[in-house]
Structure 1
Amino acid sequence: MKRPHGWGQGGAAVQFCRVRSVAEAVDVLSRWGSEGRILAGGTDVMPQYLRGESAPAALIDISGIDGMQGISDVGGATSVGALVTLRRLATASLIALRHPALSQASAAVGAWQTQTVATVGGNVCTAASSADTLPALLVSDAQLTLVSKSGRRRMDLGEFLAGAGATALRPTELLRAIELEPIGERCAEGYLKVGRRSAMDFAVVGLALRLSVTPSGVVSGARIAVCGGTRAPHRVPSAESAIVGTRLDDGRVDCAEAGAALASAAAPERTEAARYRRRVFGGLLSRLADRCVAEISGASG
């Protein structure tokens, strides 16, 4: 395929490869290596290409591959194909039941037009610092299945994210599926974001929380992950450990210590934007914790 005049890098030619199977995809990737770029929904790849920020020799279209668009239960875990769209994640009953934070985060990405074509695999591999879905995937302990001609490997999402816009994906590898741990009994989770103007904006701050509470009212487990700023989305162990073991007070979690730890660890930069994020994190954590406790209490009552 040739770019029309004035498109991308001054009209230079780029090879367009449409593949129909995983085997064909990894074969093409093995030939192009770092000069190839995977194309699925195209919501990240094409704007970068058109702006001249990316100049691949080949665009490898995987959107027609069967077997990468399903959501299913696999031995108690939730398996999500890399080509599942964000709109499907936002509306699928299995995701809403088992992974409500992911459902909410997917619904917060842009408009429905974007959600209809953007894929979860694209979100993961682009690794944008503002990616709403990544904190929700992190609190679900997302495990990635990566395939190449030499075989497959499994990697924790937290290890895969190597920095804002950077991952441990090898040039000849394809992200095939993501496996998630569902919420358990007396457990709830959610996602909240703060954008500049509306829900269609990139997240200035996004926070996902998975919370477990014992029948006696003690926080027995917490997973906290954030996005926004200059770092890749990540979990915040210091905030998690600060909230675990606290006892509910009149049906609420005391998030003061955890909120301070979260603000300090998640926005350490000395900038005005970082100072704003530090002010916002504590409030988001408290709101989500209250919501999770109310859901757990309602389910057990």
Structure 2
Amino acid sequence: MAGRQNRNHDLDPYTSPRTFFGSELRRAREAAGLSQDQLGERVFCSGTYIGQFESATRRPQPDLSRLLDEVLGTGEHFQRLCELARKSKHADYFADAAELEIRAKTISEYAPMLVPGLLQTEAYARALISAAQRFESHEAVESLVQARLERQAILADSTAPLLWIVLHEAALRVRVGSAHVMAEQLTRLVATAGANRRVLIQVLPFAAGADAFLNGTTIYMTFADAPSVTYAESAYTGQLIEEPALVAQYQRAYDLTKAASLSPEASLSLIESAAKDFANQ
């Protein structure tokens, strides 16, 4: 505990709105004579969670910021800082999950209809975002495309997480963009899984029937120094789930989905076949 708090003192509060939030939280907590654990008890979270905000490794949360203001008697100070610190290139509902990807030890994702963002080609991402953001400007669409592609940098890092993807077969058949875009995208999947031993792809075939996750994308992340989390997403909305019992339920469902899927080798063969089908169009 003491070591973590001492490291927080080394933080430059003026690096970003988030580090300023963390520095201000530490200052107000210490002025109140509270340890991280004691403050956590008062705002219904763990001391470790408070430490993550003070060290700027987690984005501030609006509800927690409101409780901090109430407990520490700081008016709306942390609520205002929270609004600044939560600005992101990503959609607000996904921004927390996007930042957790960087710290994850493993990322397990089920994708029922679309290739996951971490493995999308630029053309596929552009076609998908253009369709989803039909009334946004070209500049706004391009900004979202680049933000998505930037996320993929974690796969080239020496500390890259283990990425385990389960694609429903529908994701191989629903055309996003042109047939050429689909052929390029599916070929990229095969090439990435073949070249990167930390990327594993399985396909849940149509023959498997109903599964627990048919209604939306689900991402399960584990960490070396924090509890596991789940992110569940549907059109234009998503939810980061941290309640341990519910996270465990998602993990069990994901394990069952993996068990019902084709082997990695058979999956890549199916993806390769689907890529050839699109290329022949």
TM-score by length of 2: 0.29
Where is the strand percentage greater, Structure 1 or Structure 2? Answer: 1
Q: Which has the higher contact order (CA 8 A, sep 6+)?
A: 2
TM-score by length of 1: 0.27
Where is the helix percentage greater, Structure 1 or Structure 2? Answer: 2
